[in-house]
Amino acid sequence: MTIGIAGLGAAGTYLVKRLHDAGFDVRAFDPKRPDHYIPCGYATNEFRASHFMKKIGIDFEDYILARAKNVIFTGSGMPEIPFPGRGLCTFDRNKLQRDIISDISTVNGHFSGNYDLAVDASGVSRSLLGSVRNDFLMYTKEYVSKESKHDDFYFRYFEEGRGYFWEFPLNGSYHIGAGSSDPEIISESLRGYSAIRITGRAIRLSPLFKDMVRENIMGVGESIGTVSPVTGEGILPSIESAEILFRCIDKYSDLEELQAKYQNSIRKRFDHYQKLYALLQNFRNGRRISLSNAVAVRSVSKAMREFGIDFSVWKIMRYIL
Ligand SMILES: Cc1cc2nc3c(=O)[nH]c(=O)nc-3n(C[C@H](O)[C@H](O)[C@H](O)COP(=O)(O)OP(=O)(O)OC[C@H]3O[C@@H](n4cnc5c(N)ncnc54)[C@H](O)[C@@H]3O)c2cc1C
């Protein structure tokens, strides 16, 4: 089977490395400049990241920049509430992605050619799968700054599910950013901070698990919405979706069977994202008290713990409901 991959971000670099090491005929494309600074907070769970990186011969420890001791949550009616970090850290994402593909020949350009299987790993742009009507994106803007108002990891949620502001330490500097459906809120929250670099892009918060496949194209990562709707965590979920796709490709040579198994596995693994997305939309529509919100409470805890935060939903229950 010949495989072409569009996009060498979190999911694409991991997938091409897995396939290359297993002996598949694979070609991967990405048009971004080699010195491109990835717009992202670079926060992840070091334990879960180590698990996946081990599979491709990477020692994740070498990339860690700062570890969370106390993670502060506030905003949307909540006072500042600290939760212990349980693996949350920042890491050198630019170096990691470069290193993953350092022994593979990739194409610095747009996707081209014909393949038995084409993989859309182009993130928010869905360059092969195309756009869909039920998509939901937020704007983001992020500063790399020498100063921050908090030394540890800090999240401040905006009212009515309109996104959040973050400060993440990077060992000598900070990522300070905001994601929101309202650009004004983003500008307001970043006022007074200085920047040595400014980045940003749209982020997809809608799970698109009904739109993962079209003809011989299959999506991984943010192109299919593997981003937690409450934390914006997308690095590991996207890598995990790539691992799921790799296993299916390795096991099933029939395209229809491969696509069916992959879609089932993704829906099962990321089922809690559907509940979190419903919670987000309920907040945005002023429906704070509803049965589906109560059902989503366990999914909030799950998403926070996956991100590396020892989160207790009871501490914030009254602010959710
Ligand atoms: C400001 C911001 C902060 C974030 N902070 C965090 C965080 O702290 N922790 C976390 O876990 N997640 C975070 N996320 C989310 C996370 O970065 C993404 O969800 C994750 O990178 C998705 O991985 P991916 O491989 O699907 O897409 P990406 O990593 O975005 O990779 C997509 C790649 O496709 C390429 N591409 C685009 N168009 C084409 C094309 N036509 N042909 C070929 N290639 C193409 C792009 O150049 C890019 O390299 C953040 C996102 C944003 C925007």
**Ligand 1 pocket mutation pick from 122, 138, 139 by most atoms within 8 angstroms of CB:** 122
pLDDT single digits (tens) 136-170: 999 999 999 999 999 999 999 999 999 999 999 99
Please report, for the domain that includes residue 274, its CATH number: 3.50.50.60
What's the confidence (pLDDT) of residue 219?
98
The tokens describing 84, both together, are 């212990």
**Ligand 1 pocket mutation pick from 94, 100, 235, 306 by most atoms within 8 angstroms of CB:** 235
- Rounded to 5°, the CA angle 178-135-249 comes to 100
Q: How far is the centre of ligand 1, averaged over its atoms, from the C-alpha of 40 (Å)?
A: 8
What's the confidence (pLDDT) of residue 250?
98
- Residue 179 backbone phi and psi in degrees, to 5: -125, 135
In the predicted structure, residue 313 carries a pLDDT above the cut 90: no
The tokens describing 36, both together, are 């491109």
What's the domain count of the chain? 1
pLDDT single digits (tens) 251-302: 999 999 999 999 999 999 999 999 999 999 998 998 877 778 888 888 999 9
Q: How far is the centre of ligand 1, averaged over its atoms, from the C-alpha of 16 (Å)?
A: 16
Q: Long-range CB contacts (< 8 A, 24+ apart) of 147-153?
A: 147/174, 147/193, 147/194, 148/174, 148/176, 148/193, 150/72, 152/68, 152/69, 152/70, 152/71, 152/72, 152/85, 153/43, 153/68, 153/70, 153/71, 153/72, 153/85, 153/88
Domain residues for the domain of 162 are: 2-320
Bridge pairing between strands 217-219 and 117-120: parallel
Residues 6+ apart with CB under 8 A from 182: 139, 158, 162, 163
13 CA closest ligand 1 atom index? 25
Of 129 and 320, more confident: 129
What is the CB neighbour count within 10 angstroms for residue 124?
Answer: 18
Going by pLDDT thresholds of 50, 70 and 90, the confidence category of residue 321 is low
C-alpha distances in Å from residue 118, one per residue of 28, 34, 101, 177, 318: 10, 23, 19, 34, 46
What pTM was estimated for this model as a whole?
0.97
What's the confidence (pLDDT) of residue 309?
97
